Amino acid sequence: MEPTRHSPSRISRGLPLLGALLLAVPAIAAAANPRRGAHFSGRTSEVPPGTLSFAVSHNGSGLTNFRFATLGCLASPGAQAFPVTIKAVPLSKSGSFALNHAKSVTVKHPATGTTIQITVTAKIQGTFTGVHAASGTISYSESISANGAPGPKCTAPKALKFHATG
């Protein structure tokens, strides 16, 4: 039996199709969408690393209860991390998510009888790198008030990187 031979014109006609398929594979891999209702947790690049968690909404249109712990940009020695919660972050059909100017307010009542309010305004950007993984950045600014009187303000010097799995 003689081996099958293909004419050069038949091979050259198939090359554009092969090239298009090879270009499409990375695009398909980058377009990862998580399972609806899935929960994710991970760490931020803050030192020491902060915790991070969120869930995918049941309709798949966003992330819910996006929480991260931070020392804040006004942290003093010995400070403890406090939680920042963003209720909803929109999720695109391509698997990316972003939200600018998201506000979170934390109220503390130390033993001194004062009420301290920490307001964090965050910018969250990320993408699902797979069905079970997401990575991104969080940039934020912080302001503190005591008993309603305005206090110090700051902007974190660099964005926190995060990675979460679910």
Rounded CA-CA distance 89/36 in Å is 14
How far apart, in whole angstroms, are the C-alpha atoms of residue 87 and residue 9? Answer: 59
Query: pLDDT tens across 95-127, in order?
Result: 999 999 999 998 888 877 889 899 999 999 999
Q: Is the pLDDT of residue 29 over 50?
A: no
Q: State the average pLDDT for the chain.
A: 84
Q: In angstroms, rounded to a whole number, what is the distance separating the alpha carbons of residues 106 and 108?
A: 7
The CATH class of the 39-165 domain is: mainly beta
How far, in Å, CA of 34 to CA of 55, rounded? Answer: 10
The pLDDT value given to residue 52 = 96
Say if residues 74 and 154 touch (Cβ distance below 8 Å): yes
Question: What are the tens digits of pLDDT across the range 138-158?
Answer: 999 999 999 989 999 999 989
- The answer to whether the beta carbons of residues 51 and 163 sit under 8 Å apart is no
Average pLDDT over residues 63-81: 87
Classify the C-alpha dihedral 57-60-62-68 as positive or negative: positive
Q: Return d(Cα 131, Cα 34) in angstroms, integer.
A: 4
